[in-house]
Amino acid sequence: MSTAAAPADRWVFHQGAFVRAGDVALGAGTQALHYGTGVFEGIRAYADTEGRDSLVFKAREHYERLHASCRLLRLDLPHTPDELVEITTELIRRNDLRGDAYIRPLVYKLSLEPGTPFGVRLRGVSTSVSILALPMGDYTRAEGIRCGISSWRRVPDTSLPARAKITGAYANNALAVDEATAAGYDDAIMLNQQGSVAEASTANVFVVRDGQVATPGADADILLGLTRTAVMRILAEEAGITVAERAVPRSELYTADEVFLTGTGCQIVPVVEIDGRPIGAGIPGPLTRQIREVYQQAVRGALPRYRDWNTPVGLASAAKPAAAAHA
Ligand SMILES: Cc1ncc(COP(=O)(O)O)c(C=O)c1O
């Protein structure tokens, strides 16, 4: 069970220091609030199978992607990926997050530097970094979800690159989710400007047919998900399947044997219905179930061959804050 503090008492990393969430104040002039000029990551940490420590999944890769997103928006991130991993494990220890947790790093344009005129711009604006960590269990629906194809197209790379996790770009995803949930679906699958499948609101899409697996490629206006890469490795190592990265037409979804989504939040979730049509038999397929099982073990450190994905937090050796206070 988590011993997490109330939200305002939680530790956050903010502008170079660990402070209580309730003590963080951002001004109404915060540039990223006005123009969506921030970038972020979503990272999961899992209680290990022995219940002794917590393991951050693909920590370094998330921070390398964060750095890439920062370069696009000219955000000056003052910490290296390794430093950010260390800050993250320290944050989890401080919050004593012993169960599954979610980490949200955010790098954003803060305020105009002296002499910079008011307006939309990337240069002459300071950068701020905040990292939050909160308890978050597995909300994946093993029985699968129902999706609708969105009438909102995924923003093209020529307008707002989906390969970077830019805060402002998520208004596109929010429109798609809003439309899908209003229609009674669990999530939206967005097409790109070419009419091919791009991705779900916060997850990549995989399609299985006759033992072959395909997923939209890097040129399909998608975020290159870290779970996507992990799943490609699992499919290669466990099932000898090489995933084809290629354009996936909408019709291929309707006629697939299995469709599943991958993402940090949803992890691996079967899609059992799209636009009212059952996928395969309308229940999670065997390949989806197999990789879900492997993934769930791997993220908790149970499979030595995937240990390079796990960064131990060091909770076992960390003193609990309450105990320390009375020592
Ligand atoms: C738009 C979008 N696509 C895909 C993903 C999946 O990426 P990852 O597996 O790195 O979490 C996410 C979540 O981060 C996302 O927001």
Query: Is 145-306 assigned to CATH 3.60.15.10?
Result: no
Q: Where in the chain is the domain with CATH 3.30.470.10?
A: 7-137
pLDDT in tens, the chain (327 residues): 445 678 899 999 999 999 999 999 999 999 999 999 999 999 999 999 998 999 999 999 999 999 999 999 999 999 999 999 999 999 999 999 999 999 999 999 999 999 999 999 999 999 999 999 999 988 878 999 999 999 999 999 999 999 999 999 999 999 999 999 999 999 999 999 999 999 999 999 999 999 999 999 999 999 999 999 999 999 999 999 999 999 999 999 999 999 999 999 999 999 999 999 999 999 999 999 999 999 999 999 999 999 999 999 999 766 554 433 332
Query: If you take atom 5 of ligand 1, which residue's CA is the nearest one?
Result: 203
3 state SS of 241: coil
Is 58 one of the catalytic residues? no
Distance CA 214, CA 206 (A): 6
Transcribe 148-171 into DSSP letters.
EE-SSPPPPTTTS-TTS-BGGGHH
Assigned architecture for domain 7-137: 2-Layer Sandwich (3.30)
Residue 278: C-alpha distances to residues 189, 258, 266, 275 (Å): 15, 10, 20, 8
Q: Helix, strand or coil for residue 175?
A: helix
pTM of the entire predicted model:
0.95
Q: Within 13 Å and on the Cβ side, how many CA atoms surround 94?
A: 20
Task: Give 154 Cα–ligand 1 centroid separation in angstroms.
Answer: 13
Where do the CATH 3.20.10.10 domains begin and end in the chain?
Answer: 145-306
Residue 264 CA to ligand 1 centre (angstroms): 6
Q: Which amino acid is at 17?
A: A
